[in-house]
Amino acid sequence: MRSASTALSRLGLTLLLGALPAAALTIPVRPPLDALPEILPVGAPAQLPAPALIPNPAAGPASGPVASPPASTAAPALARPPTDPLYSQQWTLPVIRAPQAWALPGAQAAQPVTVAVLDTGFVTSTELAGRAVNGYDFVSDPARAGDGGGRDADGSGVGPYAFHGEVVANIIAAAHDGRGMAGLNPRARVVHVRVAGTDGQIDVPDLVDGLKWAAGLTVPGVPVNPNPARLLNLSLFADFIPLTRCDPRVQAAVDAVTARSALVIAGAANDGADAFGYSPAGCRNVLTVTSVTVQGARPAYANWGRSVALAAPGGEVGHGVTVSSVSGAGGVRDPNGTSLAAPHVTGVASLLLGVRPNLTPASLRRLLTGTAVPFPGGHCDPQPARSCGAGTLNAEAALKSALSSSLGK
């Protein structure tokens, strides 16, 4: 619940995670209610000593600011089926019919799409090598930034929750390369925008500026983003404000990026409550995503309500979402939460933009919600007011609908 007694107990909610294995963290969380040539580095890296990321055991300790991986000149193919070793454990992909979407005629001709992940920041990962940018650090409070200062050009993840943005990005775009996991769109390019501090919480002004910057809008004192994104994934909600409505500052930023033709996709949050009071989940022009189980039912942790547009698999206790992570045991994690549901929708949205690059945010929303699979019995929860939106994400139907239409060409 939001009325948790400590900041640490709120951490998993702010970043929209459910239960986490105790061994994976150095501090406790509460039990749940649960560059392709076009990708450019942003500014000069900070000259401060590098903050410590959760280390990749195979890579040794980090030294110096972490830059983007070398650019790749080839767009990776959509493997049918992928040969990545974790693929057989990625139960969420058949639930949303991702393999069938990859096999559609026309899918192989999709163009790269830039996605922004507003989260805990950049983590070096082979899953996204050449397609990920260490964007910008918008955490303004030095005490919460954990890197010796406030905002700077090094958006690297810092602290025990650094993996969060990494796994979100991997769900969207991990390569189909016979290693690790398979992402929904291995051609997608990711710009990491750090808005969460080492405590996992997000201050409203940091979120507002991160939203604007991600879409290519001007933010005073910050270099313009050379890689503006069409899709903004927010597996989080803003802290330090009442959970009674969308914060007007966040709403204004969402409206501004929507006018820039960028779609904001947000997790509904994990309080088992009405998403209406959350920012950005309760804001206009946001495609808000909640979690469902493999059977299409709402897990107890997942927020619900009229603000929710769509559902996607987000796992539950004992049946998490399998993801690659350089800091996970054996390179793997299996978290649960609406944090994991939202990037499934973002990944599919990037497939749609890859074949129809001029789709508007409203058109994307209609394609994604209009092709959703109805919930068993017509609802995700026995209580009708606890709505999970139009249904469960269907990647095949959404991409087929986009390919059969001239809209957005």
Q: Which residues are catalytic?
A: 119, 164, 339
Quick count: other Cβ atoms within 10 Å of Cβ 256?
16
Query: How far apart are the C-alpha atoms of 273 and 271, rounded to whole Å?
Result: 5
Token duo for residue 289: 């995503």
CA atoms of 267 and 19, how far apart (whole Å): 16
Residue entry with tokens 């107990």: 9
How many angstroms separate the CA atoms of 394 and 385, rounded?
A: 23
3-state secondary structure 299-354: CCCCCECCCEEEEEECCECCECCCEECCCCHHHEECCCCHHHHHHHHHHHHHHHHH
Contact 379, 397 (CB under 8 A): no
SS3 of 105-162: the string is CCHHHCCCCEEEEEECCECCCHHHCCCEEEEEECCCCHHHHCCCCCCECCCECCCCCC
Assigned token pair, 177: 């390369």
Q: How many CB atoms within 10 Å of residue 300? A: 14
Instruction: Say if residues 40 and 68 touch (Cβ distance below 8 Å).
Output: no
**What is the sign, positive or negative, of the torsion defined by CA atoms of 360, 362, 366, 372?**
positive
Reduced to 3 states, what is the DSSP secondary structure of residue 267? strand
Alpha-carbon span 368 to 361, nearest angstrom: 11
Contact 276, 307 (CB under 8 A): yes
